[in-house]
Structure 1
Amino acid sequence: MKIVIPVIGFGRAGGERVLSKLATELIGDNKENDVSFVKPRNGTKPYYPTSANIIESTFHSDGFKPFDYLRNLLEIVILCRKLKPDVVIANYFITAYLAIFLSRKTSKYYYIQANESKINKNIIFKVLAFFSYLLPLKKIVNSTQLLPKWLNNYIAEIPAGVDLNLYKNKKVKRDISKWKVGFIGRKEKYKASNEIVDILFSLEEHLKEKIEVHVALYLSDDNKDKLFAYNFHEVNSDADLANFYNECDILIAVGLIEDGAFHYPCAEAMASGCLVISNYAPLKDSHLRIDSFSALDVTDKLTYCLEIMSPKQIDSEIERNSQIMQNYSWKNIGSKFKTIISSGK
């Protein structure tokens, strides 16, 4: 089966990680599928390794950026049509619009990993993203809670996968006299980094004495001044990220939108043996789960970890999380995706 995945470029975002890994899984050990990314010649290369082909269209630049952008999109459509794929998988609202211009014989899927109509700041992109969910494409979502119920005519729910060989519990001994509390810092406001810092800053003194704060990836200058003390972790690879999770006893993985959606820090921390406080999937059936972001709820859950949970409860929580994560191996996720597109559902 020939599968084409049109992209505008590659980066380090979670969505691009999913595409790279998914493409490799769709190819499979026996190379049962021919998978290609089709992109403009804009200098971007996959940050995350993939076994898929990378096919570039000609990049046009005549000094008029809107024209260049539209011309590149047209080139991607033309190149995709020339490849005559059996399946096209869109993952971004712009590539969803490109997919509808391919042959009627091509099965067209839209793998939705985020509600981009909420995330985009540009009002035009917000509107375009919203209407992309109305296009005649077969929608696969990574969470049933991503879209409004009246838009939820998806054919399957397939979450992202996690590399369980990399993200695993390597903790030998847990020193509960000084808890290591961590979070992944992000610039985007909806990622709630500011709110997490405010929560830690506002903790009662006897709780602050019990914790050691660990931050990975990013921390603004304002938040550096607010935190009473912290350890910052550079993340330049997945291995760095795995080491960060294994440094933490508790990970706060919360955000301001998309409650219940699949969330990489939540999943990776669960696989790495952390106690996880989150409003995201795959955390479930846990006393540390919150339905929606609330500073009071996060503070209560953190206090519960620090002062109430017994060693037995901690072990039970970590073991349950580990069992949940066994279903999120890339092999399992790839197999589910193959089943869907092979059936032509």
Structure 2
Amino acid sequence: MRILIPITNFGHGGGGRVLSRLASAWTAAGHPTDFLVDARSPKPYFPTDAGVHRFDERGLVDGPAPDESAFASSGNGLSIYQGMYHGLNQIGTNYDVILANHSLTAWPVRFARAGNARKFYYVQAYEPEYFALESGWKSKVLRRFSEWSYSLALHQIANAPIYVGHRSIRATSWIPPGLDVSVFHRRSAIPHFSDRDTPIVIGTIGRKEATKGTIHVLEAFTRLHALDPRFRLRVAFGNLPDGWAQRPGIEVVAPRGDAELAAYYRSVDILAAPGTVQLGACHYPVLEAMASGTPVVTTGYLPASADNSWLVPVRDSDAVADAILNIVATPAHELERRLDLAHSAVQRFSWQQVAKDFLDQFSNAAKLSHD
């Protein structure tokens, strides 16, 4: 089957990586995949083997990507979705599947004339919750259009079980974002904590947003470092509150690309990711650390469970510290058992498996339409 993915631009976010990797996996499996993107967007930030068609406000246009992005969603919204709609009308009939992947792209996908193409909507996040964080009339309008998009006649697929049937989302199945298990592979040996002269390195991803829970890791580390100076904190990407990066025992690193990020996860003894929202959703730091064979402390993101990780309540720095102390005190055989379970849990998230799950959904929809 031929697959078309309409997007506004090739962004730097995790959603862009998901789409680029899926498109490459589908193409490799013999299902040619193309993006339909605004002409002002630069080349894909995340490499992909998919083809690219570009549009302006009138529809398809020829020409290469701009050397530097002239794309800006602010003030250009109408031209983006008008052009996407016209572009879909021009080439949609050449495809078997059209995949919307954002609440606002769902509208041109739904109403474009695309022959017999089957139209899907991959709900990557519950967007009204994000728009609700901002004030003003524009956010209210975006929130309303996002909510309405879930009632459109599209085959919906959620990216986590918590979104199945959540509020107005009509998805009855879910497929997670994927992971390159050849890059995020298991470390050669489990962490050991018996040597009193060896530092115990806690890892976390630096984020200033309160919902990411970084401050609770910092507070937990302060308690642990005062208790035992062996404890160190290695923060990926910085983004810490003012003054924290200069505190004793804290190191900031900046991994470049997935290979260095995977090496970072294997370089720490414990990874803490105590986010405060959308518990039960997929969270890449949790998934990547589990795949890398690193014990994880989290508030409950996929695929963490009480059997393969250490779960803590939200906004509880003491619970994070206690969980880390629990890991340090865990006998080696029990720690290895949990890490074995974690390794098994992440296999569903390999790109090959995720791509296959999508293809199965596409095929099942085709069979139902012929019955």
Shared fold by TM > 0.5? Answer: yes
Question: 3-state SS of the aligned residue for 2:40?
Answer: coil
Aligned counterpart, 1:114 = 125
Structure 1 residue 86: deviation in Å?
2.2
8 A Cα contact 2:206 2:236, kept in partner:
yes
Change (3 A) 1:65 1:319: closer
Distance in structure 2 (CA, Å) of the matches to 1:333 and 1:201 = 39
State the TM-score, normalized to the length of structure 2: 0.83
State the TM-score, normalized to the length of structure 1: 0.89
Change (3 A) 1:132 1:39: same
Distance in structure 2 (CA, Å) of the matches to 1:117 and 1:199 = 32
Distance in structure 1 (CA, Å) of the matches to 2:337 and 2:74 = 55
Distance in structure 1 (CA, Å) of the matches to 2:232 and 2:318 = 20
8 A Cα contact 1:249 1:274, kept in partner:
yes
Distance in structure 2 (CA, Å) of the matches to 1:65 and 1:309 = 50
8 A Cα contact 2:10 2:41, kept in partner:
no
**AA paired with 2:105?**
T
Question: 3-state SS of the aligned residue for 1:56?
Answer: strand
Structure 1 residue 96: deviation in Å?
1.6
Aligned counterpart, 2:174 = 157
**Alignment pair present for 1:231 and 2:251:** yes
Aligned counterpart, 2:55 = 57
Distance in structure 2 (CA, Å) of the matches to 1:228 and 1:184 = 18
Structure 1 residue 71: deviation in Å?
1.1
Structure 1 gaps of 5+ residues are none
5 Å-filtered alignment, 1:42-81, equals 42-58=40-56, 68-81=76-89
Structure 1 residue 184: deviation in Å?
1.1
5 Å-filtered alignment, 1:5-154, equals 5-29=5-29, 31=30, 33-58=31-56, 68-83=76-91, 84=93, 85-103=95-113, 105-120=116-131, 121-122=133-134, 123-124=139-140, 125-146=142-163, 149-154=166-171
**AA paired with 1:126?**
R
Change (3 A) 1:199 1:206: closer
What RMSD, in angstroms, separates the aligned Cα atoms of the two structures? 2.7
Aligned counterpart, 1:217 = 237
Q: Which runs of 4+ in 1 moved over 4 A?
A: 64-67
**AA paired with 2:341?**
R
Aligned length: 341
Distance in structure 1 (CA, Å) of the matches to 2:18 and 2:220 = 31
Larger RCO: Structure 1 or Structure 2 (Cα < 8 Å, ≥ 6 residues apart)?
A: 1
Q: Which string of whole-angstrom CA distances, capped at 9 and with x for unpartnered residues, describes residues 277-331 of structure 1?
A: 122001124251246553343233122112x311111111111111112222111
Q: Which string of whole-angstrom CA distances, capped at 9 and with x for unpartnered residues, describes residues 203-238 of structure 1?
A: 46224x232111112323515257432221112211
Structure 2 gaps of 5+ residues are 59-69
Deviates more, 1:284-293 or 1:74-83: 284-293
Distance in structure 2 (CA, Å) of the matches to 1:342 and 1:200 = 49
